[in-house]
Structure 1
Amino acid sequence: MLFIISLVIALFIAFCLDKPLKKCPAAFYVTAAALTVASIVVTQSDITISSRFVRDYVIGIFSRGALGAAFWAVVMWTGALPNGSAPIKKLMTIRGELSITAAVLTLAHIITFGMLYLRNLINGRTGSGDAYRDFLITCMLSIAMTLIMLPLTVMSFKAVRKKMNAKTWKKIQRLAYLFYAMIYIHIMVLFVPKAQKGREGYFLSVLVYSAVFIGYAVLRLRKAYLSKNEKASKLIPNSVCACAFVIPLCFSGILSRNTNTKTKVANVSPKAAVEVSENETTQTSTTAVTTADGTKTTTTGKAGTTATTTNEKKEKTTEVVTDSASEEATEAENTDEQPENNEQEEAQEQSYRFKNGTFEGTGEGYTGKIRVSITIENDTITAMTASADDDDPDYFDDAKNKVIPQIRNSLSADGIDACSGATYSSEGIIEAARKALEQAMN
């Protein structure tokens, strides 16, 4: 969805603002640079953005590289469109300006995630297994793409281009094909595993990116073939191109289909179990009353049930004898019992491991701070929430669903299993919960 929105923005600027871009490109470069710097400052600072829409669709469109990729897609397709067509006539004159704008916007993604990868590498947070492999691939691709993009961007300025030999310039610019291929591979390495796990929106993203990049490659090869074989029939190359587009696109869809068959198990709150046991517990009381004629009446109660035992040989009507002395004795006994009850209540409160109330803690997630809030009542966690501004929402949600039920059920942050694939988010939640529980300890 983010890439589709970015494509709409890039196409609008390319087709509707082509004349201002051609006439005054510096204004577009400065605007792109300002937006890039702003997104970097926000993502690298401690600024908290509570709105998920702002994080994902305003800041994320720059930091995640979606807008830069959309501009690169317009630049790519400009070179793949048929010669003499109306779109190519409109776009070819501003292709250099579009590529410079795309490079400036891409720097937001390179710097934001470059800093993240560098911190993770220094701290040894590179994951293991497939996660470690993906980390290495994305790092190497990012470095290679940056080394290609920067000189090509400098060469796109007209002042630099005029000073270079035309053939040399054209040969160096062919590195752009490798750059485009690396963009697609980079995206697939990041998105396919998420799509396979059923992450919302990633399957569609894989198909959209595949359609854009595979479609470009097919049309570019078709254009190169027809330029060398102008008199050849277009039926065969068109048929081959259709197959070359559909087959890889279907393959990308099959590769990224949801393979996550795990089902979520409903967790029963421990408090509910306690409440049920308390409701099922009944108290039995026995009271013996001596009547005037010597008959003893025994009252045994379970939730108000009374049984009366009488002597069949005595009369049915009895009179309960009481006097003021017995009432005073009873009142004295009740008065003596009150301090004892208060002492029992205080002892019961002191026997709890944790204080009652709401306690908060923070931990280090994959990309930033994680905050956890725990509400405790009589050694039972009645509410627990976790939030993070910078962690990947999908991985963070998986971590919460895996970790929080364990902490609630065990009333501890020790021995908690992390969520596979979201290890650092899980560890951040566990660390924050441990700090909160330490504050609550009696």
Structure 2
Amino acid sequence: MSLVLCLAVTGLCFSLLEKQIRRRPVFFYLFFVLLSLLSIFLPKQLTVPPLAYLVNRLLRRGVLAGSMFLWVMYAIVLPQKSRLQRVMMTLRAQIAIGASILTLAHNIAYGQRYFVLLFTNAGKLKSYELIASCFSLAMILLLLPLTVTSFQVVRRKMNAKRWKQLQRFSYLFYGLLYLHICFIYTGGLRKGKSEYLVQFALYTLLYGIYLMLRLTKAFLKKPLPTAPDYAAKRAARRRKVICLHGAISLLMLLVLLFAFRTVQAGKQGSADTAQVQSTSAAESANSASSASESASKAEDTGAAPACGSGIAAAVPDGEYEGKGVGYNGNIKVKVSVACGKITAIEILKTDDDEEYFYDAKKQVVNAILEQQTTEVDAASGATSSSDGIMKAVKNALQP
């Protein structure tokens, strides 16, 4: 999984390069600026799989930034005096700044679509996309002052008490980040995608465990009275911590149960849709077969065959493959043609995000089959993916 991979790689790199990062933080920041520019300006038609995975899956989607924020969060609750805790606490500010740089680049990459629609035509956004976009804006407003004050040169000029008060807003940022992730994964969960459930469960467990550890540490920091009330107060504190852990565990269980039921409902809906599409495809095939028989009879009698009149009118019967450029890269399709009509369109490969490619696939493919043209309306919120499918179908039908 991408998040686990990022956590492992970043944790190892920070441990091995601790001294270098601490002595030359500027080079560390420049490295993440370079990665950010790569994710923003590198063409989407990537041919090298490792580079495509790094840019499309880890950078543009914010997975690498999210893993670094998790290290920033966990630094304070890791086992005391462990090497990992010492490394993360030593580099906490630098890691936070690097993660902030990547997060801003992630918002630029996705803001070109979602922020533009948010301010120009919010009605085209689904409810969960609208909420996630609003959370993103709130996080940016929090992230900017938190990042600026994380630089040592700025921190030294600030009053220590005010600096600590400002940095407490980072907890609000973490909460918004988790809620943002929840709404981002909502689309995939509602479509019955099990892989989204696994990723959502992982984020929920990581944030839930952090919340338990952080609140436990806050409880334990409070001083206890001296004897004779010490034992009683200590026992009462332990009971509170146990109740707190139980409440958070129950909340996580309810959230995961809700996500699981959402996926199950999505799978059932997808199965019903697939059945309807299968029926439609069978009807189209029967129609094509009837048209082919009519054409054969017309050919035998010397009459002109009555075939399709759309984009595939002059295309011989058969299956054709074509490519088009979507949001994150190439989209490859297989188009079936019978008697001058497109009878089926199969998506063979796509690099686009499933949460909005699904809508493009469903709407655009059905529209092309119905209207027999690639000049159809794009799916709301998935314009690039829709255009990629249309171009791929057109490319497949070209001589």
TM-score, reference length from structure 2: 0.77
Counterpart of 1:206 in structure 2 is 200
CA distance in 2, matches of 1:395, 1:52: 22
Q: 1:412 to 1:125 in 2, by over 3 A?
A: farther
CA distance in 2, matches of 1:172, 1:350: 71
Deviations 1:377-414 (A, max 9, x none): 53233664558866423542464356536644x46259
Counterpart of 1:10 in structure 2 is 10
Q: Which moved more, 1:107-116 or 1:9-18?
A: 9-18
Deviations 1:334-361 (A, max 9, x none): xxxxxxx99947x448996611257979
Q: Which runs of 5+ in 1 are unaligned?
A: 284-340
Q: Residue 256 of structure 2 aligns to which amino acid in structure 1? A: G
Deviations 1:216-242 (A, max 9, x none): 122111111110045624642442243
SS, match of residue 171 in structure 1: helix
Q: Residue 268 of structure 1 aligns to which amino acid in structure 2? A: A
User: Are the aligned partners of 1:355 and 1:376 in contact in 2 as well (CA < 8 Å)?
Assistant: no
Counterpart of 1:216 in structure 2 is 210
Q: How does 1:316-335 map to 2 (within 5 A)?
A: none
User: Are the aligned partners of 1:380 and 1:411 in contact in 2 as well (CA < 8 Å)?
Assistant: no
CA distance in 1, matches of 2:154, 2:249: 40
Counterpart of 2:181 in structure 1 is 187
Report how far residue 426 of structure 1 moved: 8.1
Q: How does 1:316-395 map to 2 (within 5 A)?
A: 344=302, 347-348=304-305, 354-356=313-315, 374=335, 376-381=337-342, 384=345, 391-395=352-356
Q: 1:127 to 1:55 in 2, by over 3 A?
A: farther
CA distance in 2, matches of 1:13, 1:2: 16
Report how far residue 141 of structure 1 moved: 1.4
Q: Please, which of 113, 117, 120 is the counterpart of residue 114 of structure 2? A: 117
Counterpart of 1:302 in structure 2 is none
CA distance in 2, matches of 1:387, 1:122: 35
SS, match of residue 268 in structure 1: helix
Bigger fraction of residues in helix? 2
User: Are the aligned partners of 1:403 and 1:429 in contact in 2 as well (CA < 8 Å)?
Assistant: no
CA distance in 2, matches of 1:373, 1:16: 48
CA distance in 1, matches of 2:120, 2:302: 51
Aligned-CA RMSD value: 4.2
Q: Residue 59 of structure 1 aligns to which amino acid in structure 2? A: N
CA distance in 2, matches of 1:249, 1:162: 40
Counterpart of 2:59 in structure 1 is 62
CA distance in 2, matches of 1:116, 1:432: 20
1:91 aligns with 2:88: yes
CA distance in 2, matches of 1:362, 1:164: 53
Deviations 1:9-48 (A, max 9, x none): 2222233322222222222211111011011102xx5x41
Counterpart of 1:294 in structure 2 is none
User: Are the aligned partners of 2:124 and 2:381 in contact in 1 as well (CA < 8 Å)?
Assistant: no
Counterpart of 1:26 in structure 2 is 26
Deviations 1:93-126 (A, max 9, x none): 2111111111112122111112222333466374
Count of residue pairs brought into register by the alignment = 373
Q: Residue 134 of structure 1 aligns to which amino acid in structure 2? A: Y
TM-score, reference length from structure 1: 0.70
SS, match of residue 164 in structure 1: coil
User: Are the aligned partners of 2:308 and 2:341 in contact in 1 as well (CA < 8 Å)?
Assistant: no
CA distance in 2, matches of 1:429, 1:98: 37
Q: How does 1:198-347 map to 2 (within 5 A)?
A: 198-230=192-224, 232-233=234-235, 235-257=238-260, 258=263, 259-260=265-266, 261-262=268-269, 263=271, 264-265=274-275, 266=278, 267-268=281-282, 270-271=284-285, 275=289, 344=302, 347=304
Counterpart of 1:148 in structure 2 is 142
Report how far residue 69 of structure 1 moved: 0.8
Q: Please, which of 69, 72, 77 is the counterpart of residue 69 of structure 2? A: 72
Q: Residue 396 of structure 1 aligns to which amino acid in structure 2? A: F
Counterpart of 1:291 in structure 2 is none
1:400 aligns with 2:358: no
Q: 1:268 to 1:426 in 2, by over 3 A?
A: farther
Counterpart of 1:412 in structure 2 is 372
Deviations 1:35-67 (A, max 9, x none): 11011102xx5x412567654444320111111
CA distance in 1, matches of 2:314, 2:295: 26
Q: 1:18 to 1:29 in 2, by over 3 A?
A: same
Aligned identity (percent) is: 28
Q: 1:102 to 1:166 in 2, by over 3 A?
A: same
Report how far residue 161 of structure 1 moved: 1.1
Report how far residue 174 of structure 1 moved: 0.7
User: Are the aligned partners of 2:323 and 2:330 in contact in 1 as well (CA < 8 Å)?
Assistant: no
Counterpart of 2:124 in structure 1 is 127
Q: Residue 77 of structure 2 aligns to which amino acid in structure 1? A: A
SS, match of residue 61 in structure 1: helix
Report how far residue 274 of structure 1 moved: 5.0
Q: Please, which of 100, 103, 107 is the counterpart of residue 106 of structure 1? A: 103
